[in-house]
Amino acid sequence: MREILREVGMIARALDSISNIEFKELELTKGQYLYLVRIFEHPGIIQEKLAEMIKVDRTTAARAIQKLEIQGFIEKKDDESNKKIKRLFTTEKGKLAYPFLKREGDHSNSVALAGITEEEAETLFQLLQRVRKNIEVEWDSVKKGNKRDY
């Protein structure tokens, strides 16, 4: 049942492509929406954790976040008890953008699930979550330089 992962890849690329095209309206360039929604939903998150959450390289996240800050969508705040970390928060501008992002996501979701029942959607979600958790472990390991053998 190898094709599962290909379906996932196709869906993800198509959705990402659609979002990127649509969010140009908000002056958001490729990928930025991913970070913005998560910062809104997890105020105070640090960029290292955000990269892990999104499953993207640390340095890619660093630059995407840097740009969001320059554009005024988010701000970095120093932590009082830990000089190393910077906590991320959406600004007013970022908060204003969120409903737009949310609505787009909801729309994509309803298109994606057309003809699929509530129960099926729930099953799909549960299964995907299990797959994600399985892959997550592998990703962490490979990213740290470990070699898989097979």
Q: What residues line the site for a second copy (CB under 8 A)?
A: 1-5, 7-18, 21-22, 34, 53-57, 103-109, 111-116, 118, 120-125, 127-132, 134-136, 138-139, 142-143, 148, 150
CA–CA distance, 52 with 61 (Å, rounded to integer): 9
Token digits of residue 79? 């932590």
State in angstroms the smallest separation of the CB of 51 from DNA: 8
- Residue 45, helix vs strand vs coil: strand
Q: Indicate which of DNA, a second copy, none lies near residue 96 (CB less than 5 to 8 Å, by partner kind).
A: none
Q: Which of 46, 53, 93, 108 binds DNA (CB under 7 A)?
A: 46
CA–CA distance, 30 with 19 (Å, rounded to integer): 9
State in angstroms the smallest separation of the CB of 95 from DNA: 21
Full strand arrangement of the beta sheet holding 45-46: 45-46, 86-90, 74-78
- Dihedral angle, C-alpha 78, 51, 105, 111, nearest 10 °: -170
CA–CA distance, 44 with 55 (Å, rounded to integer): 19
Only segment of 25-33, 91-99, 112-120, 130-138 that touches DNA (CB under 7 A): 25-33
By rule CB under 7 A, what string of x and - marks binding of each residue 75-114 to DNA?
-x----xxxxxx----------------------------
Contact yes or no for 87/81 (Cβ under 8 A): no
Decide if residue 147 touches DNA (CB under 7 A): no
Given the rule CB under 7 A, which residues bind DNA? Answer: 13, 16-17, 20-21, 29-32, 46-49, 56-60, 62-67, 76, 81-86, 143
